[in-house]
Structure 1
């Protein structure tokens, strides 16, 4: 009897194995006769624009295989594959069969591309269930999308903005923008107040009762991670003088994850130094020291800081920019000292690998603030940008000073916004004073970028006052201390935060 049962089990196993193998090997891959030719950039962008102008979020997963394949062809044939046992299976350490899933998918690619592994796999992420591969055939994309292990397939280097993003005039501008720039400005005396020992408090801090909050908390013991363009090597207040004046016993660490290369297989970063200026400004407003140099102070002037040069500029356009941001999120996620992450960069549509990075950091308990969006001449039609719209992120935008809420001249608003910061003066339009790229110089910075870094600083004040709290408790307290609590405004979320109320 035992032998018969054993034979039945063996036969059943053989049948099951055969069925599984047949399911994988006998996939039906048919390219529609009307979709055999690749789409042009104009055709791809027209579809993207149609989605965005309908006030919808653009996701590659909702597009045809022809469109994904066409976009990949125009981006060095690079495709990012997110895999897993379910839509939420992004963490490689939590997938016992992650290696098998990857090997099965690579086998499919090898079969349809007719190439060896060395010619297919560009990179495999250490922490996330994703890999970057080279694919040239639409049949391969179709076959992959039929696999039960696929979470998403996206072109990894398609540049929607194209030459416009490479135009230095577009991505950098005056001191009132949130783009690149090395300018300095003489601050209007009405835009700051001098406090002990000789630091300048930006006017906007008083709009949020931040100086009053300092009587109860200065951010000590909390570490903020800033994902941006790095930190200037020429601004000692964010370097050797990080402990200056009333800012003491804290640390600043600098990392780089951006690879400045046109080749996707390049892995050597260009360091942690800011070559844009934007990241320096964001680090300044979040945690610059309460100094004796006559320069602007940051919100959490006794907080620790970890900065990442993750991209070349604020528009996350291209393979290495998106890869750099993903790696920065996983790096900060794995840093047990970091409580808060601030990112004042983004993109106009979803990027799977960055989404995975955000989810990974969020799963590690990090409180993540992202910029809601700052307009340029070619993105004025876009609402709240990615990744600020994600449920794992807290979206922030800027408004003009005063009680009558008006968005700043270049800021995005919408129902995904959680908080606002008053960062543009009603008269004259001046924005927020910050330390500049060079020593002993200051500047003005605006947009949702500076609003985001300011909010991250306020969160550090709250968490430092309540060091045993969880992320959710800190966020709840911030909401309760805001203008529109408990009902969100459809454009401005919970509105302006009162930092003094938040730390009480």
Structure 2
């Protein structure tokens, strides 16, 4: 089993479930709606007519938070878990809830591409990788491109936004996958907006087991909007990874969302930050369905609440302002080519016209031709002299 295959099979769900740490426990309920100005944004758009694909661990469609707005696609990761089990759809249900909290009239397409942390299939796959079990390794290999399949399926089913609260930052090797990169390119070529969490390994605590701050895919792909997590004080959440691929940030501390077993609970991570951003994009596209992928990104960047120092690797271009983004979606900036004002030639330029060379001096042709003729005569004469029979000695 190669590391490359394992990377895709074990894509990390980026939500830190359970109670927040004491340092983060003061976040008020629903603070993310106020910071992102969601109520004002919802007065302009609700997400109607936009499908957001949530590529995750599955979504429990019967939760009251969804009001029949969730449909399910294929289960590309498998493993044997079924809806109703506590380790099926824990993470994905919460993420779909956050998307619809921002865009209540959008539709969610759930596509299962990763396992929840407590899923027995995840543990079996990890053990197979360590022991070298060929049968289990083959099973993992087949599931290694689940994310790529999920992206392509979502695009073909008409999703306008793909929300991926997952990443490869948990693992100790690079997570770049050629099939996933190709799927991302496919989605971008169709104008689909891809949003992904930047990762939760940004802690500066040397004792933290997840403090790796490694590059996380798919957030690191150029066509994907990478989202960091912000805290209630406006700064970076202590776990949010620090990388140049981060485009914007969104609230990611104590975000209340639906539980797969019923009710609601608070969780922290770059996962809810990505889901909230995907919901914002749904509002933008509902307001103006003709927005291009580039326009969506530019609007999110231009309207974000900027850090004091401008762009930083901590929060990207700033925290998403949903109200400003939806207003800007009505009259997006036109994508214009910048006129070239540099030198006439990129290099030294041509040394002369290709059709105005001076005529060739015929003197050189006459001298050269004569010399060639004399040389040929000498060669023929030498040939016959060598073939002349020599007299025998007595």
- TM-score relative to the length of structure 2: 0.66
Please name the residue that 2:95 is paired with.
282
Native 8 Å contact 1:417 1:493 kept in 2? yes
Which of 309, 314, 325 is matched with 1:502 structurally? Answer: 325
Aligned length: 291
User: In the TM superposition, what is the alpha-carbon distance from 1:382 to its structure 2 partner?
Assistant: 2.3
Distance (whole Å) between structure 2 residues aligned to residue 171 and residue 286 of structure 1? 15
The verdict on how the C-alpha distance between 1:190 and 1:383 changes in structure 2, with shifts beyond 3 A counting, is closer
Which of 282, 288, 294 does residue 460 from structure 1 map onto? 282
Alignment partner, residue 477 of structure 1: 299
Q: What is the CA-CA distance between 1:234 and the residue it aligns to?
A: 5.2
1:333 aligns with 2:155: yes
Within a 5 Å distance, the mapping from 1:44-443 to structure 2 comes to 74-75=1-2, 156-158=4-6, 174-176=17-19, 191-192=28-29, 202-232=30-60, 235-238=63-66, 241-242=67-68, 251-261=69-79, 275-287=88-100, 298-313=101-116, 318-336=140-158, 338-348=159-169, 349=174, 350-375=176-201, 377-403=208-234, 405=235, 407-424=236-253, 431-439=254-262, 441-443=263-265
Q: CA 1:489/1:500 → structure 2, altered by over 3 Å: closer, same or farther?
A: same
Partner of 1:198: none
Q: Which has the larger radius of gyration?
A: 2
Counterpart-to-counterpart distance in 2, 1:502 and 1:285: 18
Q: CA deviation at 1:359?
A: 1.7
Highest RCO, 1 vs 2 (Cα 8 Å, sep ≥ 6): 2
Cα 1:226–1:488 change in 2 (3 A) is same
- TM-score of the superposed pair, with normalisation by structure 1: 0.52
Give the C-alpha shift of residue 271 in structure 1: 6.6
Deviation at 1:422, TM superposition (A): 2.5
Gaps of 5+ in 1: 1-73, 76-154, 178-187, 193-201, 243-250, 262-268, 288-297, 425-430
The whole-number CA distance in structure 1 between the counterparts of 2:224 and 2:19 is: 25
Instruction: Give the Å deviation of 1:475.
Output: 2.1
**Residue 315 (structure 2) aligns with:** 492
1:386 positional shift: 1.1
State the Cα deviation string for residues 130-158 of structure 1 (Å, max 9, x = none): xxxxxxxxxxxxxxxxxxxxxxxxx6534
DSSP 3-state at the match of 1:488:
coil
Asked if 2 retains the 8 angstrom alpha-carbon contact of 1:345 and 1:371, the reply is yes
2-structure distance, mates of 1:355, 1:378: 28
Please state how far the C-alpha of 1:479 moved relative to its aligned partner: 1.4
Change (3 A) 1:496 1:311: same
Q: Which aligned pairs between 1:1-20 and structure 2 lie closer than 5 A?
A: none
Deviation at 1:464, TM superposition (A): 0.9
| SS in structure 1 at match of 2:301 | helix
Measured in 2, the distance between the counterparts of 1:171 and 1:415 equals 18
Instruction: Please report how far the alpha carbon of residue 172 of structure 1 lies from its aligned counterpart in structure 2 after TM superposition.
Output: 8.9
Whole-angstrom CA distance in 1 between matches of 2:15 and 2:302 = 37
The Cα offsets for residues 178-215 of structure 1, whole Å up to 9 and x where unpaired, read as: xxxxxxxxxx99833xxxxxxxxx22110111111111
**Following the alignment from structure 2 to structure 1, what is the Cα–Cα distance between the partners of residues 14 and 193?**
28
Instruction: Identify if the C-alpha distance between structure 1 residues 189 and 395 changes in structure 2 by more than 3 Å, giving closer, same or farther.
Output: closer
1:176/1:445 contact within 8 Å kept: yes
Q: Which runs of 5+ in 2 are unaligned?
A: 127-139, 328-394
The structural deviation recorded for 1:394 is 0.6
Distance 1:272 1:487, change over 3 A: farther
Contact persistence 1:399–1:408 (CA under 8 A): yes
Q: Distance in 2 between matches of 1:160 and 1:463?
A: 30
Give the distance between the partners of 1:446 and 1:189, measured in 2 at CA. Answer: 13
